[in-house]
Structure 1
């Protein structure tokens, strides 16, 4: 048995319901023997005597959705804290400049969360090129089988062009998954060079070319002030007739009014897993237009997929207990171009 005094102390910081959903008991048991979980009950706030007592002892803070902000006051109550391991994607909501100034090392489970988003995206790309959603609606309306090529003679995935906007973690994983198919994949990203794009399995092109030439356009850029409405009315007008636009990133990256106007022309399809706001007004045209598929932010980690993020975070803690470096570090400089 390891010496308790040499073990790294861990505290959980997230709402109770998040901890129960994300961390099965069997995963927390893997923290032994080089790590000491101070309590299975997470810190839901940082002000109570219990919270201050646990913070004072913690070397590692495992955080989740809904973790309170880690400001100067909180960090002053955690003199031993060295690591923040976030069991989700973006840590921007609770990790700020005070953490970087203190020299804390931060890790996220963004790579793990990218997997189900990429899988959802690939599924939608394949369905879009086969016009499955449109054909299903026709069958349901006619109450009869139909000849698909009578409606969509060019349907299919062979050699169709798929445009990926953003070589983010998710965008890169989508490209990797698409290698299995006979598709032409192009990517637009100002931080990517042509050689790296080729290594991923795509051709680097400009955004204008990607939008105008792709059969399916899938958005994977981060939500930053500089990316608001990056898909504006001009880009939406350039989308080729019959194309499908997929958004699993954030609604604010798109001029949604312009998108709806184009869809209402009848020559554009959209798969939207995200919108701004999350719940659209009840009279929104997106709800009733037959060319739109709305899904309730289902692409990200949910249900059984949450355990993948928890396992990634636990493995990061185990690496620290063995004296190894973090596998998925997040640095302050990364925040300029990541969500």
Structure 2
């Protein structure tokens, strides 16, 4: 007699499902067991409980309601949460890890998109492309515009990377072939790993003082929250490009705004304390020609989204076949993860 098919709960809104799962991933998921799909466009906490009833694994993502501490008690058969987004910190309470619930995430699949975004921001800033465009569009004379906008070669610059996780390492792998001198700030990166990556380990203040470009990729932890304030920003040399595609909480926003308004540095900001960024936010001020802003878009590419969904469908398959998981988040990893 055949055993009943495993129940797999999909805890994705319809919009997120279309974004994360292509037809091939849906077909593969359907082949793994009995799939329980949401019946409405949104998902609330009650829907989560209903969908998890009897489920061995679940697929979560952006807009999935957070689990609570008692989720494991209500659904003791649940063996795996396969999270098609990055951070699981606000989704899964620490207690559930300690009670044996296994969790995987797709953070590594987002890294390439963020890394390309960071390098694009650096290239645009070094060559002043947005300034050239604006000045020509507003009537600037051809040769005057070219002479007025400094042109710098990215490969000749020193770049400081704060955080050597998935994204930080992806940025390093793109920058090193340019010829950049890359300084990395991360207490968990040792000299041997740094040498293999072609980068140098350094302290935060040294990286800030020596770099032409600073890019943040650290997680938000008690020791990193507002780690960069007025003192640290003052260490930046005039003309330094400050990039934040990680989390706004890493930086004192008032101090950053003051530094941008001074005109001393340039900035490329993808994350903010308040998102969506309010219409009256000072960061939207058109007069701030030395800052580019984007709507938390660095990790969002079609290719990355489908890779994230596919990775977690594959992970559920591994669980059901009794194979080792490739993207599992351990309890010890949480102490240094976003």
Verify same fold: TM over 0.5. Answer: yes
Give, in whole Å, the separation in 2 of the partners of 1:148 and 1:196: 44
Asked if the contact 2:233/2:256 (under 8 Å) is kept, the reply is yes
Aligned to 1:291: 290
Give matches, 1:72-111, under 5 Å: 72-111=69-108
Aligned to 1:126: 123
The counterpart of 2:208, out of the listed 206, 211, 224, is 211
Which string of whole-angstrom CA distances, capped at 9 and with x for unpartnered residues, describes residues 247-274 of structure 1? 1011121112112222222221100011
Aligned to 1:262: 259
Displacement of 1:149: 6.2
Give, in whole Å, the separation in 2 of the partners of 1:184 and 1:265: 27
Give, in whole Å, the separation in 1 of the partners of 2:216 and 2:242: 8
Give matches, 1:121-160, under 5 Å: 121-146=118-143, 150-152=147-149, 155-160=152-157
Give matches, 1:41-52, under 5 Å: 41=38, 44-47=43-46
Q: SS at 2:53's partner residue?
A: helix
Asked if the contact 1:38/1:54 (under 8 Å) is kept, the reply is no
Aligned to 2:307: 308
Structure 1 portions without partners, runs of 5+:
none
Displacement of 1:65: 1.5
Aligned to 1:235: 232
Q: SS at 1:164's partner residue?
A: strand
Which string of whole-angstrom CA distances, capped at 9 and with x for unpartnered residues, describes residues 230-259 of structure 1? 111011111111111011011121112112
Moved more, 326-335 or 4-13: 4-13
Moved more, 135-144 or 178-187: 135-144
Relative distance call for 1:267 and 1:57 in structure 2 (3 A) is: same
Asked if the contact 1:129/1:216 (under 8 Å) is kept, the reply is no
Relative distance call for 1:32 and 1:241 in structure 2 (3 A) is: same
Give matches, 1:297-336, under 5 Å: 297-336=296-335
Aligned to 2:28: 30
Structure 2 portions without partners, runs of 5+:
none
Q: SS at 2:71's partner residue?
A: helix
Asked if the contact 1:87/1:109 (under 8 Å) is kept, the reply is yes
CA RMSD, aligned part only?
Answer: 2.3
The counterpart of 1:162, out of the listed 159, 163, 174, is 159
Q: TM-score, normalised by structure 2?
A: 0.90
Asked if the contact 1:14/1:68 (under 8 Å) is kept, the reply is no
Q: How many residues align?
A: 334
Asked if the contact 2:158/2:212 (under 8 Å) is kept, the reply is yes
Which string of whole-angstrom CA distances, capped at 9 and with x for unpartnered residues, describes residues 273-308 of structure 1? 111112146051552211110111110224453111
Give, in whole Å, the separation in 1 of the partners of 2:152 and 2:280: 33
Q: TM-score, normalised by structure 1?
A: 0.90
Q: SS at 2:95's partner residue?
A: helix
Displacement of 1:60: 0.8
Moved more, 222-231 or 117-126: 222-231
